[in-house]
Amino acid sequence: MTKADVLNPPVEPAEWSPPSRGVVAVICLIVTETALFMIFIVAYLFYIGKSLSGPYPSEVLTTPVIATICLLSSSLTIVLAERAFERANAGGFRLWWTGTIFLGAVFLALTAVEWWELIAGPRLTINSNLFGTTFYSLVGLHASHVIVGLTLLTLALILFLRGHVRAEHAERIKLISWYWHFVDVAWVAVFTVVYVIGR
Amino acid sequence: MGAREIALTPGIGTLSTMTLRLHDLAVTTDHKKLGLMYVGAGLVFFIVAGLLAAVMRLQLAAPDNGVVSPHVFNRLFTMHGTSMVFLVGMPIIAGMMNYLVPLMVGARDMAFPRLNAFGFWMFLFGGLLLYFSYLAAPGITGAGSAPDVGWFAYSPLTARAFSRGHSTDYWILSLLLSGVGSIVSAINVIATAVSLRCKGMTMMRLPLFVWLSIVTSFMILLALAPLSAAQIMLLLDRFLDARFFDTQAGGSALLWQHFFWIFGHPEVYILIIPAFACLSEIIPVFSRKPIFGYPIMVAATTMIAFISLGVWAHHMFTVGMISLGNIFFATSTFMVAVPTGIKIFNWLATMYGGNLRFEPPMLFCVGFLFQFLIAGLTGVMLGVAPFDWQLHDSYFVVAHFHYTLVGAFLFGIFAGIYYWYPKAVGRMLDRRLGFWHFWLLAVGFHMTFDPQHFLGFLGMPRRIYTYDAGRGWEVYNLISSVGVALQAAGIMCFVVNLVRSYLKGEPAGEDPWDAWTLEWATTSPPPEYNFETLPVVRSSRPLWDLKHPEDPDWRYE
Amino acid sequence: MSRHLLSCRKRAPGPALLAVMAYAGAPDQVTNIFNPLSTPAESVHRIALLTLAICAVIFVIVAGLLIYAIVRFRRRPGDDASEPPQIYGSNQIELAWTVLPILIVVVLILVTARTIADVENHPQPPDALKVTVVGRQWWWEIHYPDLGIVTANELHVPVSEAGRRQPTFLTLESADVAHSFWVPQLAGKTDLIPNRVNRMWIEPKQAGTYLGNCAEYCGTQHAKMRIRVIAHPPEEFDRWAASQRRPAAEDQMAAAGRDRFFSISCVNCHTIQGTSAKGTFGPDLTHLMSRETLGSGASPNTPEKLRAWVRDPQAIKEGCLMPDMQLSDKELDQIVAYLLTLK
């Protein structure tokens, strides 16, 4: 309220560091993807026990233990890769990042095998009954996100091997790993709904 | 000289100025150009969808009329509704947010300019795909044309058995595409508003337009995904024989309704909140007072956003939900009216004690206030579930949502266009034409939609291509149809105004309205880089502080 | 059968009458929700009036403030260029105009819950008439399971009198897509959804014909899926039911038409009780001539209109699912002559 106020207002804040745009964007992306998954999960839960004819979940589902272990471990390996990157450990990064891709690919392959067996054996397809419809769409939705994640990881690896990824890109590596963690958490939800609750 | 340099010199070389301009727009990532493209495309679709409505009103002007067949009429109302919501409302709000948010926060562009361009083209292709259905949906079998299942496409009417040909598929695909555009735009707006604020602009110093854009965008993130999910399910049903909505296989037709309205209700708030945002910028400037209760306005809007996620089944009071369900959703519907009312009171309080200038932007704001009040009250009536058992799916509902979408949303958007056109173009819109536009539209709007409330009371259901004489509906329908002519005249004034003012409007200068937010601190139109030097701010009205150094806002905030 | 409707048809109510929302006090072609003639519609009517009153008061106050502000605070020619006092807000005022609406909301919640309970949880008396309505594109199939009657498009019910209450309880189903049963003067609407059973009830207090419409868009001819509910005094209703239970009349004069009818594909879609025609895709025709309209209200049921319908249903109700049977004039005459005997 003094003259000094008016003539010399302290305008520039000492520190000005709003959140990074990449972080905000990926959080928003995860929010909207979560909403997407929620609807398919709600449909799955709603239709449990409502199929008019078989095959039924308890008859044909086997718990994908190995696939789950692979996918969840890949969250661990990606954290190790990130740490290596921060410490400028190129070899470590290469190892753990490739390991993540490998584990994700194994997960996809095992899912494919599971589907093959369900279709060839008990003839469970997307149009057999409500269980088939909700099973393939929910697990398929998740698998499609794994594919996108693997694509991102592979792209990053190729760019890294070509020398285009430097220390200042640490945040981008982190954001890719956030997406990958989201895919993992989504699998925990899908797994619980399909193989635990729905069986 | 390189090929590029030759092309840049008009007249020399092979490319004309027009081609250069079009090429520029095709590859631009500038938020201002994209914003104007969004709004421009939205306005073109608005004219088209308005013409569809005019044909409908012609058909309904008299009982047993033969202007169009039932098939054509059913396509008309489906295309009209779908276009207005997705190809007019969504792009116009996206365009305004994209144009204004960077300028208002003192940034040079959106956080992700290329993503912005991607979103625009997704929307545009989606929109064109929808109209392409007129040509392509018949396919080999000759069945199907534009979609005719209503804009909310209830199951099982959309199943392959009841919806032959590809019309419904075009509905699904075009909306999936433009939905991606909306989501991407929302991410961009939030990232820009949070991360690119100029120095000193804390969250509580953001212009209300930016705050409300953040809220809208957050709602888009939560609400568009359920629509996309439901549409993917429908696509799987139609193409792969999935059973999501197949009642013969035990599927639930109601599931579609739930999923759709989980999107559909927040969607209407997504549309109206940007109109609220325009009002929150314009009313203060034309009342010469700051917005009354800035923090409350932020809180109220946030509350509206949250509560609106929990009201969706008030569109389903007649489907036979358990009583507890009906009571719950009636309750949540009433609750959302409270913060909405608070906002109206705050705008009124801003005007109260002010010095009101009734330029076109303010006129449209006053129209908004009056009409949104009525719309909100008819909304409360619809929220009383037993009353809704009579009013649902009748012309009363048609009247209600046109009051919110035309009487409120459109009027709010026009207010915004009259307000910011000078900034975007560098010339003022003609004042006189603006008054003609407002009055013709207002009178025509009331002529068309006021009688429809009574049609609802008299038992006229919606989505009927004709009706019998003797039900007492004739007079109201006739008046309603005549109003269309006045609205059309008003819109024509607007279009003429846009074009004429672009060519020879009065130069606007930087700050024609004596306003207070950062977009008015640069030239009209702004240069590509927006600001010569990025500003540093100390309050939510930085230009007020500059113009009134003896009484700056930062002393009181 | 009430002749009331015919006299009403002649005088189309003038705009003034409608504008005033006059209470006709009897079933009318003008189906005004503010003229309820059945118990559930009356419950809705009461809460509707209360809600309108509350909204009207709010409107007058807020619009009044808006108009006052516009007039009082507008810039006048003599005004100087100074800015008015810059007010940023007031927590007390915000509190006041938050609390008051919340109180109104509480009142609305209570009244709403009460009316919902009154209508939805009304007990079904043991002697209530039970009817099953199946919605079809674009007509209404009506069953009286206890009376052994199947009919179409017209719902006949007994009037409920003070001393002898007999409401009608409807079970609503759908054979194809979603429909909605709406007869404004009798009750709010309830949807008919495939793979779902809904229930509603009506209790007409006066004899007469009540008009209604399908109120959920169900495809091409949603507009002409009209409803007639005809309420009879109890004895008259019993007579109607008895006549409906009888199998189709045998009239030797129409033998040629009868043979023709049974030789072509009419029987694939239509049922005539007491004959070999057992198709269920289209309406039951056993007592076709006892109905007031054809095509669920698409046209009046007169011999000329019946002939036009059978000749080409698409001309009267374009898009309906009965095809043009491509009959010659002679075949048409014979079949219509037969149908006219189905009283």
pLDDT tens by residue, C242-300: 999 998 888 777 888 999 999 988 999 999 999 999 999 999 999 999 999 999 999 99
C292 touches chain B (CB under 8 A): no
Domain annotation covers residue B326: yes
Q: What is the pLDDT of residue B7?
A: 42
What tokens does C140 get? 């209404």
Element (H, E) at B48: helix B31-60
Give domain status of residue B21, yes or no.
no
Q: Both ends of chain B: CA-CA distance in Å?
A: 57
Q: Is the pLDDT of residue B97 over 90?
A: yes
| Residue A144 or residue A14, greater confidence | A144
pLDDT digits (tens, 9 = 90+) for B302-349: 999 999 999 999 999 999 999 999 999 999 999 999 999 999 999 999
Q: Do B70 and C220 touch (CB under 8 A)?
A: yes
Nearest-by-Cβ selection for B240 from A38, A46, A126 = A126
Q: What is the dihedral of CA A145, A147, A149, A153, to 10 degrees?
A: 180
Confidence of residue A7 (pLDDT cuts 50, 70, 90): very low
B247 vs C contacts (CB less than 8 Å): 194-195
Residue of B nearest to A130 (CA): B243
How far is residue B59's CA from residue B78's CA, in Å, rounded to a whole number? 15
| DSSP state at residue B507 | B
Total length of chain B: 557
| pLDDT exceeds cutoff 60 at B421 | yes
Task: Tell me if residue A78 falls in helix, strand or coil.
Answer: helix
Alpha-carbon distance of B540 to B207, in angstroms, equals 6
Distance CA B463, CA C223 (A): 7
DSSP string, B143-164: ---S--STTTT-TTTTSTTTS-
Cα separation of C165 and C167, whole Å?
6
The structure tokens 């997705």 sit at: B86
Q: Are B101 and B192 in contact (CB under 8 A)?
A: yes
pLDDT of the residue at A13: 73
List the one residue out of C150, C333, C341 whose CA is nearest residue C250: C341
pLDDT above 90 covers a percentage of chain C that reads: 83
Helix (H) or strand (E) holding B337: helix B323-351
Residue B13 covered by a domain: no
Q: How many domains does chain A have?
A: 1
User: If DSSP states are collapsed to H, E and C, what string results for chain C?
Assistant: CCCHHHHHHHCCCCHHHHHHCCCCCCCCCCCCCCCCCEHHHHHHHHHHHHHHHHHHHHHHHHHHHHHHHHHHCECCCCCCCCCCCCCCCCHHHHHHHHHHHHHHHHHHHHHHHHHHHHHHCCCCCCCCEEEEEEEECCEEEEEECCCCEEEECEEEEECCCCCCCCCEEEEEEECCCCEEEECCCCCCCEEECCCCCEEEEECECCCEEEEEEECCCCCCCHHHCEEEEEEECHHHHHHHHHHHHCCCCCCHHHHHHHHHHHHCCHHHHCECCCCCCECCCCCCCCCHHHCCEECCCCEECCHHHHHHHHHCHHHHCCCCCCCCCCCCHHHHHHHHHHHCCCC
**CA nearest B551 in A: which residue?**
A6
Q: How many residues does chain C have?
A: 343
> Which residues span the domain enclosing B90?
35-555
For residue C174, give the amino acid letter. S
Parallel/antiparallel/unpaired status of strands C190-192 and C198-202: unpaired
Identify the bridge partners of residue C200 per DSSP, sorted by sequence position: C170
- Is residue B500 a part of any domain in this protein? yes
B475 touching chain A per CB within 8 A: no
Position B2 pLDDT exceeds 60: no
Q: What is the pLDDT of residue B14?
A: 66
**B4 domain residue, yes or no:** no
Interface touch B259/A40, C-beta < 8 Å = no
CATH assignment at residue B489: 1.20.210.10
Q: Is the peptide bond before A55 cis (omega within 30 degrees of 0)?
A: yes
| Averaged pLDDT of chain A | 94
Using DSSP bridges, classify how beta strands C129-136 and C139-144 pair: parallel, antiparallel or unpaired: antiparallel
Residue C28 confidence class, pLDDT cut points 50, 70, 90: confident
Write the residue in C70, C90, C121 that is nearest to B356 by C-beta: C70
In a domain, B222, yes or no: yes
C-beta atoms of A9 and B555 within 8 A: no
Whether residue A19 lies inside any domain: the answer is no
* Alpha carbon distance B185, B97 (integer Å): 9
Read off the pLDDT of each residue in C90-115 and give the average, rounded to a whole number.
Answer: 96
CATH code at A78? 1.20.120.80
Q: What is the pLDDT of residue A1?
A: 44
Read off the pLDDT of residues B226-235 as tens digits, 9 standing for 90 and up. 999 999 999 9
Across the interface, of B253, B369, B381, the residue whose CB is closest to C55 is: B381
Q: Is residue A157 part of a domain?
A: yes
Examine chains C and B and say if they touch (3+ CB pairs below 8 A). Answer: yes
Would residue B24 count as lying in a domain? no
B229, B236, B549: residue with CB nearest A126: B236
Q: Listing from the earlier edge strand, what are the strands of the sheet with C198-202?
A: C149-152, C139-144, C129-136, C168-174, C198-202
Q: Is residue A192 part of a domain?
A: yes
Which pair of tokens denotes residue B526?
Answer: 């702004």
pLDDT tens for each residue of B449-481: 999 999 999 999 999 999 999 999 999 999 999
Sign, Cα dihedral of C85, C89, C91, C93: positive
Tell whether A55 is covered by a domain: no
Instruction: Tell me how far CA of residue B431 lies from CA of B226, B422, B494, in angstroms.
Output: 43, 12, 11
| Mean pLDDT, range C70-87, rounded to an integer | 89
Higher pLDDT pick, A7 / B431: B431
- Return the axis-axis angle of helices B323-351 and B360-383, rounded to nearest 10°: 160
Q: What region does C319 belong to: left with phi over 0, alpha with psi -120 to 50, or beta? A: left
Strands C139-144 and C149-152: antiparallel
Amino acid (one-letter) located at C87: I
d(CA B64, CA B72) in angstroms, rounded, equals 15
Neighbours of chain A (3+ CB pairs under 8 A): B
H helices present in B164-252, as ranges? 167-195, 208-240
With an 8 Å CB cutoff and a minimum of 3 pairs, decide whether chains A and C touch.
no
Q: What is the DSSP letter of A17?
A: -
pLDDT band (50, 70, 90) for residue A9? low
pLDDT per residue as tens digits for the range A149-162: 999 999 999 999 99
* CA dihedral of residues B495, B499, B501, B507 (deg, nearest 10): 140
B199, part of any domain: yes
In a domain? residue A25: no
- The shortest CB-CB distance from B318 to any of C191, C219, C226 is to C191
Write down the pLDDT at residue B13: 57
Instruction: Give the separation between CA C172 and CA C200, rounded to whole angstroms.
Output: 8
Categorize the per-residue pLDDT at A37 as very low, low, confident or very high, splitting at 50, 70 and 90. Answer: very high
In this prediction, residues A6-25 reach a mean pLDDT of: 79
CB count, 10 Å around CB of B164?
Answer: 14
Going by pLDDT thresholds of 50, 70 and 90, the confidence category of residue C80 is: confident
Structural domain count of chain B: 1
| A12: helix, strand or coil | coil
For chain B, percent of residues with pLDDT exceeding 90: 92
Min CA distance, C261 vs chain B (Å)?
29
Q: What percent of chain B has pLDDT over 70?
A: 96
**Does C313 contact B at CB distance below 8 Å?**
no
Q: Helix, strand, or coil here: B356?
A: strand
Amino acid identity of residue C239, one-letter, is R
Expressed as residue numbers, the domain containing A167 is 33-46+61-197
Residue B9 reports pLDDT greater than 80 = no
Whether pLDDT at B51 is above 70: yes
Per residue in B254-273, pLDDT (tens digit) is 999 999 999 999 999 999 99
Domain contains A5: no
Per-residue pLDDT averaged across B439-447, rounded?
Answer: 98
Q: Do B111 and A24 touch (CB under 8 A)?
A: yes
Q: Tell me the pLDDT of chain B averaged across its residues.
A: 95
Residue of B221, B538, B553 to mutate when probing chain A, most A C-beta within 10 A:
B221
Do the interacting molecules here have an ipTM over 0.90? yes
Q: In this structure, what are the phi and psi dihedrals at residue C193, rounded to the nearest 5 degrees?
A: -125, 130
Which residues from chain B sit within 8 angstroms of residue A133, using beta carbons? 236, 242-244
| Amino acid, single-letter form, for residue B177 | L
Nearest one of C124, C121, C183, C186 to C159, comparing CA atoms: C186
